[in-house]
């Protein structure tokens, strides 16, 4: 469907390992790939296979030891730290594995406050935040703080925060791990719609096999390598 598109993310021969104690573990062992706008790309694989690490490399949160990532035509790694920050705020949304919510803010504030930095010019921030929260089914919980929310509700706040600015690149690490199957599907279908409608690049890690059927493309990771790369027809 978007095969003739230019890729928005290009990874070339990525390598990344970690040292703990005297032991070095190679986590990403030579991954090259192109990811396209207008598609929901899902990354699946066993625990410890390197999914979170690959997402961190693709999003520029982590530097590769060897290889490179070109994101929207730019090698983020070469930017000075401040510009890298600015680049992230402008172009990327994240849903982290641990949600990363602020304990003192209400759901509405969690979503609307970051919009002040990352939203496109002319966006009605309040409307964008309310709409995103509605999309994840949290209209009734706007004024509650994380302590007053269930795990799945917190996760949906994190998703709303990431999608509110309609980022060009969205990286989501197991964004449905705390959700029941109905809400999990709802989030993934929402991601797919965003990708198709706004030509966003959405990269989503999941270990839920049922959700993979909604992806435009599925990458299977095993021991730091891509074992399988399947494109699905719409």
Ligand X SMILES: Nc1ncnc2c1ncn2[C@@H]1O[C@H](COP(=O)(O)OP(=O)(O)OP(=O)(O)O)[C@@H](O)[C@H]1O
155 is an interface residue for ligand X by CB under 6 A: no
Q: Pick out residues in 205-224 that bind ligand X (CB under 6 A).
A: 207
Sheet order of strands, 39-44 included: 92-95, 169-173, 201-205, 39-44, 217-222, 225-231
- Least distance in Å: CB of 51 to Mg ion? 5
Q: Which residue, judged by CB position, is nearest to Mg ion in the bound state?
A: 52
Strands 39-44 and 66-71: unpaired
- Least distance in Å: CB of 225 to ligand X? 12
* Residue 49 interacts with which of Mg ion, ligand X, none, CB < 5 to 8 Å by class: ligand X
| Site residue total, ligand X (CB under 6 A) | 13
* Residue 214 interacts with which of ligand X, Mg ion, none, CB < 5 to 8 Å by class: none
Judged by beta carbon, residue 51 or residue 217, the one nearer Mg ion is 51
- Least distance in Å: CB of 97 to ligand X? 6
Judged by beta carbon, residue 173 or residue 216, the one nearer Mg ion is 173
CA–CA separation, 172 and 167 (whole Å): 12
Judged by beta carbon, residue 53 or residue 110, the one nearer ligand X is 53
* Residue 141 interacts with which of ligand X, Mg ion, none, CB < 5 to 8 Å by class: none
Nearest CA to 153 among 133, 171, 127, 167?
Answer: 133
Binding site for Mg ion (CB under 5 A): 51-52
CA–CA separation, 114 and 110 (whole Å): 7
Which residue is listed with tokens 């989030």? Answer: 187
- Least distance in Å: CB of 206 to Mg ion? 10
Q: Pick out residues in 18-77 that bind ligand X (CB under 6 A).
A: 18, 20, 25, 27, 45, 47-53
CA–CA separation, 107 and 144 (whole Å): 6
* Residue 47 interacts with which of ligand X, Mg ion, none, CB < 5 to 8 Å by class: ligand X
Return the exposure string of 213-224: e unless at least 16 CB atoms fall within 10 Å of the residue's CB, then b.
ebbbbbbbbeeb
Binding site for ligand X (CB under 6 A): 18, 20, 25, 27, 45, 47-53, 207
């Amino acid at each position: 469907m978007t095969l003739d598109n230019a890729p928005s993310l290009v990874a070339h021969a990525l390598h990344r390992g970690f040292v703990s104690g005297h032991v070095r573990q190679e986590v990403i062992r030579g991954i090259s790939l192109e990811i396209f706008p207008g598609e929901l790309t899902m990354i699946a694989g066993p625990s410890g296979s390197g999914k979170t690490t690959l997402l961190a490399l693709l999003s520029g949160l982590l530097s590769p030891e060897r290889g490179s990532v070109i994101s929207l035509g730019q090698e983020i790694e070469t930017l000075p730290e401040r510009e890298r920050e600015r680049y992230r705020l402008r172009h990327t949304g994240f849903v982290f594995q641990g949600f990363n919510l602020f304990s003192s803010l209400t759901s509405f504030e969690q979503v609307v406050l970051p919009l002040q930095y990352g939203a496109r010019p002319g966006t009605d921030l309040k409307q964008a935040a309310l709409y995103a929260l509605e999309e994840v089914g949290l209209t009734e919980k706007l004024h509650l703080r994380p302590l007053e929310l269930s795990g799945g509700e917190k996760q949906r706040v994190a998703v709303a925060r990431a999608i509110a600015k309609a980022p060009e690149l969205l990286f989501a690490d197991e964004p449905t791990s705390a959700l029941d199957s109905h809400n999990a599907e709802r989030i993934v279908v929402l991601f797919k719609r965003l990708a198709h409608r706004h030509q966003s690049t959405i990269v989503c890690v999941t270990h839920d096999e049922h959700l993979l059927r909604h992806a435009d493309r599925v990458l299977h990771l095993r021991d730091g390598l891509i074992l399988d790369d399947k494109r699905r027809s719409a």
